[in-house]
A and B are shown apart, each in its own frame.
Chain A
Amino acid sequence: MTETSSIQVRINGDDREIPPGLSVSGLLVWLDLNPALVVVELNREILDRGRYEESYIVEKDLLELDHFVGGG
Chain B
Amino acid sequence: MKTFEEKWTAWLDGQLSGRELSEFEASLPDKAAAEAEKADARKLGELLKRELSARTLTNEEFFSHQLLERIARLRSPRRRPARQAREPGSTWWTIPRLLWTGVASLAVFLVFTVLVVREKNPADESPYLTQILNARVDPVTSPNATVSIFEVKKDRITVLWTEGLQSLPADYAAK
Q: Do A and B come from one complex?
A: no
Interface of A with B (CB < 8 Å)?
none
